[in-house]
Amino acid sequence: MAYEHILYATDDRVATITMNRPTKMNAMSLDLCAEVKAAVAAADADPEVRVVILTGAGGKAFSAGYDLADPKAKSYRDRGIEGWHWRMNHDLDYNYSVWRCSKPVIAAVDGFCLAGALELAQMCDVRYCSDDARFGVVETRFSAAIACLSMPWVIGARARELIYTGDIFGADEALRLGLVSRVFKKAEFHAETMKIAKRMSRVALACLQWNKRALNQTQVAQGMASALQYGAEAGAILDATETPELKEFNRLRNTVSLAAAMKWRDDQFKQFE
C-alpha cells in the first residue's frame, strides 16, 4: 500500500511506522490517522513481523496531537453534539488500533508528545523516549476533550494533576511517573529502541501474542473498556459545550491565526508556571 502521510518499513521482524509530517510537528490529520491504522493492521497481518515501532519523523516531535487545522475536521464540528460524538469515537477507535494489535507496539517518542499523540502513545505496550522529549495533556488548557482517557491506566492517580493543569513535563519526570520505561540520549535513541525491539522479536510470536492478550484482558477485567467509552462520551459533551475559554480560543483561531490562539492559551498560565 502507498502511504502519503506516514512511512512504513520492516527490518528483521520489526515494522516501523513513522508519522511523516515533520513541518507540522507530525500533527495527526484524519488522513494520517487512517494510514496509521492501516499500517498497524498490515504489520499485524504480516507473519514476518513480531514487533511494531510507532514514531515521528524529523526529531522535533513524535506528534503535537490532532491537527487543529485539518480541513476535513470542519464537517463534524458543524454537526454539534452528534458530530463530536462521531469524532470522539473515531479517535477512540484510532487509539485502540495499537492496543488491539496482537503484537507488541513500542511508542518511540523523540521530542514533543502532546494531547492526542500522548493518548496514542499511552495505548502502546511500551514507551521509550529521547532525553529531550516533552509531554503534556495540553488540550485541557483550551477546554478540549481527551478522546482516549488512557493516562490513569498507565500512571494511576498521578494523572489527575497533569490533566487538571495541562502542564508540560520532560523525560526525567515521565520516567519517574512510569509513563516511559527508558530514556535514551537523543543521538542514540532510535538505535537503542531498535535494539530492544529486536530483542523482543527473538521471543516466539505465539508467546508475544498470548502474553499481550493476557495483559490486555487484565485491563478489560478491571473495567478499562467501559471507562474509556465513558470518557469519549463525556468528551463529546464537553467539546459541544462552548465554554468561555473555548469560545475565545476558537475566535482567535478563526479570525486571527492558530498561532495567536495558542499564544492566548499559553498567556493564561504564564504567571503561575
Among candidate residues 13, 30, 29, 258, the one with its CA nearest the CA of residue 142: 258
**Which 3 state secondary structure label does DSSP give 207?**
helix
Residue 76's contacts (CB-CB under 8 Å, 6 or more residues apart) are 83, 84, 86, 87
Distances (CA, A) of 22 to 19, 74, 173, 206, 221: 8, 23, 25, 36, 39
Given the residues 4, 35, 48, 139, select the one marked as catalytic: 139
Phi, psi at residue 111, to the nearest 5°? Answer: 90, -145
**Which 3 state secondary structure label does DSSP give 244?**
helix
Given the residues 4, 119, 161, 188, select the one marked as catalytic: 119
242 included as an active-site residue: no
CA 259, chain centre distance (Å): 22
For residues 56 and 121, what is the distance between their CA atoms, to the nearest angstrom? 11
48 included as an active-site residue: no
For residues 127 and 196, what is the distance between their CA atoms, to the nearest angstrom? 12
For residues 253 and 242, what is the distance between their CA atoms, to the nearest angstrom? 15
Residue type at position 11:
D
Active site residue ranges: 119, 139
